[in-house]
Chains A and B, each alone.
Chain A
Amino acid sequence: DAGVIQSPRHEVTEMGQEVTLRCKPISGHNSLFWYRQTMMRGLELLIYFNNNVPIDDSGMPEDRFSAKMPNASFSTLKIQPSEPRDSAVYFCASTRSYEQYFGPGTRLTVT
């Protein structure tokens, strides 16, 4: 089992640019979660999907953030336009029941 796969692992971009983070959940898992982690705010749930359908996006900070899950094996989190305060580690996690399996994260730096 390859686990949850995220790409890229590191992203450095300039303010105003579009950023797309990618996630491949574990095969057979029917829920997918996007989190953001910073020193100041800790771990925040941004959005989660069940059977590819968004269930709760109340954690998405602004309209600049959007997430899609076109099929059971792929999800994206897009930030457009990016801002320095978006710098954080973004985690994707998937679950079949209650146990969440986290990916290694994408460290985003917006300059």
Chain B
Amino acid sequence: GNSVTQMEGPVTLSEEAFLTINCTYTATGYPSLFWYVQYPGEGLQLLLKATKADDKGSNKGFEATYRKETTSFHLEKGSVQVSDSAVYFCALSDQVRSSASKIIFGSGTRLSIRP
């Protein structure tokens, strides 16, 4: 079945450092790919998405490119801030039938940014 594997955390960086969180997937068909972020005490929020191969999703300085050849969707940010401290989830859409689909989430990567 479809699945998502992301790097285990926690990841600790200094402010203004470059961030990469690796994510690879296994899927049949052509799923959409997502990154969700969860801030402390809150639900998950969609950070960015890509719906087809070579698409780049971007938001709040974060980027990820849908790479079909390597089945990857790595999250990157050029200069992280303390406010980026959160848990990040890679995910893919899993269409069960034409009228219903669910999202398969990775295990999450906790990111902590030091001032």
Majority secondary structure of chain B interface residues (helix, strand, loop or mixed): strand
Given A55-B96, A98-B103, A43 contacting B43 (CB threshold 8 A): no
A42 touches B44 (CB 8 A): no
Q: Which of A12-20, A44-52, A68-76, A79-87 contacts B (4 or more CB under 8 A)?
A: A44-52
Q: Please report the number of residue pairs spanning A and B whose Cβ atoms sit closer than 8 angstroms.
A: 50
B43 touches A104 (CB 8 A): yes
Given A43-B108, A98-B32, A48 contacting B43 (CB threshold 8 A): no
CA distance A48 to B44 in the complex (A): 17
B107 touches A42 (CB 8 A): yes
Tell me which residues from 63 to 115 in chain B have a Cβ below 8 Å from any Cβ of chain A: 89, 93, 96, 99-103, 105, 107-108
CA distance A33 to B43 in the complex (A): 13
Picked from A51, A100, A102, the residue with its CB within 8 Å of the CB of B99 is: A51
A98 touches B101 (CB 8 A): yes
A104 touches B107 (CB 8 A): no
**20 A-B interface contacts by CB (under 8 A):** A4-B43, A31-B101, A33-B102, A42-B108, A43-B44, A43-B105, A43-B108, A45-B102, A48-B102, A50-B100, A91-B43, A93-B43, A97-B101, A98-B32, A98-B93, A99-B49, A100-B36, A100-B103, A101-B46, A103-B43
**7 closest pairs, A vs B, by CB?**
A102-B43, A50-B100, A98-B93, A102-B44, A55-B100, A98-B32, A42-B107
